[in-house]
Amino acid sequence: MNYLEIKANQKLSGEVRVSGAKNAALPLLASTILSSSTVQIGNLPNVVDINTLLKLLEMLGAKFEKKTHHIEINTNTINETKATYDIVKTMRASILVLGPLLARFGHCEVSLPGGCAIGQRPVDLHLKALEQMGANIEIKNGYILATAPNGLQGTTIVFDKITVTGSENIIMAAALAHGETTIINAAKEPEVVQLCEVLQDAGLDISGIGTNTIKITGTGQKLLNFKAFNVIPDRIEAGTYLCAAAATNSKITITHVEPNHLDAVLAKFKEMGYGIDKTNDTITLLPTNDIKPVNITTTEYPGFPTDMQAQFMAVATQANGTSIIDEKLFENRFMHVSELIRMGANITLNGTVATITGTPNTLTGTDVMATDLRASSALIIAALVSNSTTTVHRIYHLDRGYENIENKFKDLGASLLRKSE
């Protein structure tokens, strides 16, 4: 098993290019099930989660040719509609094939995703919405058995709470449905917006893109004609490198990014005293003479993203004062706290609220263990400001969503060595 060895007391400088967004690419790949012909996708991130979904699509019968960041995929060869447990258990986002498979073929079997390290993310909202669209849903032997022999029917769906993958699944299902579907309380994340825009460019009648009410006139099971497109930049990867710069109080520039997708994150950097310079596709973080504490509450877009909570906690350990982070979205997303405490961080937990007493320059390098994707990056950030070498174990979490992370940090002047144990 691989681990990372990270040298202490590191300053960063230079530029780093942001990869395509994993969380945008996954639903976009699933949406190719709705296509009448080969789809070309550029700026595809080369990370484990993408390869996992491609393996699933291949098992269903899809054919593709993939270069490092580009793919041509044809789903007209799909001859299987069962997404098996062996694949789904490794990545919850596999549930995204449920909507398009059901819409196109009128039946499918998709393994239940099960639990998740950062908390429960049930698919009941997906299933309830599909039932409202006329699907028959049965749970049997750990699988979702879904049928709609006469196709899905447009209807009005009100999500009880905002769900990103739920919104994406139902948007794709509604694309081939009969009649109009209205989704109320839809997610507004940039990744959802791009899915809608790609489907619109493919000929789908869709309105309300970027709002919480989306209206879709389905094609009545007629497939769409996808145009070539590029995956949007990964706002979480961009935010992670900015946090590394903030913790080390360094100046770096992030390139090939969409700054508007990071408004809530950049606002918190400014509250902490950092300078921010932006162009259309770059962000530069400028050091501060006084790293101020910050209060953060995670929420749905356009609010502060839960996927940036762990990284900001690492930054908060270097602030002069007490920061408070309230995690509103996932009940078990503080597992990185115990590892940061092992490094000397002063953090207390009370339910969903973490209180971080900033103790600049007092973290100590040690052996720590990654517990999920974003926790992994938080431990790297903490290691950069520790006073001795840190080893981060179980970095397979990291490889799910960060492309070429050692070399990107090397380009910024840091030393991250991947080793085997």
In angstroms, the CA 314 to CA 246 distance is: 10
Strand 322-326 with 295-297, pairing: parallel
For residues 228 and 41, is the Cβ–Cβ distance under 8 A?
A: yes
* 276 and 252 Cβ atoms separated by less than 8 Å: no
Q: Is the per-residue pLDDT at 410 higher than 90?
A: yes
User: What kind and span of H or E run contains 29?
Assistant: helix 22-31
Q: What is the pLDDT of residue 120?
A: 47
Written as six digits, the tokens of 132 are: 């409202």
**What pLDDT shows up at residue 317?**
97
Q: What is the rounded distance in angstroms from the CA atom of residue 116 to the CA atom of residue 269? A: 30
- pLDDT at residue 119 is higher than 80: no
Mean pLDDT over 290-302 rounds to: 97
Buried b / exposed e across 377-397, counting CB within 10 Å, b at 16+? bbbbbbbbbbeeebbbbbbeb
C-alpha to C-alpha distance for 53 and 44, rounded to whole angstroms: 12
H/E run at residue 275: strand 275-278
pTM of the model: 0.95
Would you state the pLDDT for residue 332? 66
Catalytic site residue 108? no
Q: Rounded to whole angstroms, how far apart are CA atoms 244 and 256?
A: 18
In what helix (H) or strand (E) does residue 200 lie, and over which residues does it extend? helix 190-201
Residue type, 97: V
Q: What is the pLDDT of the chain when averaged over all its residues?
A: 94
Q: In whole angstroms, give the CA distance from residue 400 to residue 268.
A: 26
d(CA 208, CA 193) in angstroms, rounded, equals: 10
Which of 108, 116, 196, 243 is an active site residue?
116
pLDDT of 19 reads 98
- What tokens appear for 8 in the block? 């202490």
Q: What mean pLDDT comes out for the span 86-94?
A: 84
Question: Does residue 123 contact residue 139 with C-beta atoms inside 8 Å?
Answer: no
pLDDT at 189 over 60: yes
- Cβ atoms of 229 and 255 within 8 Å: the answer is no
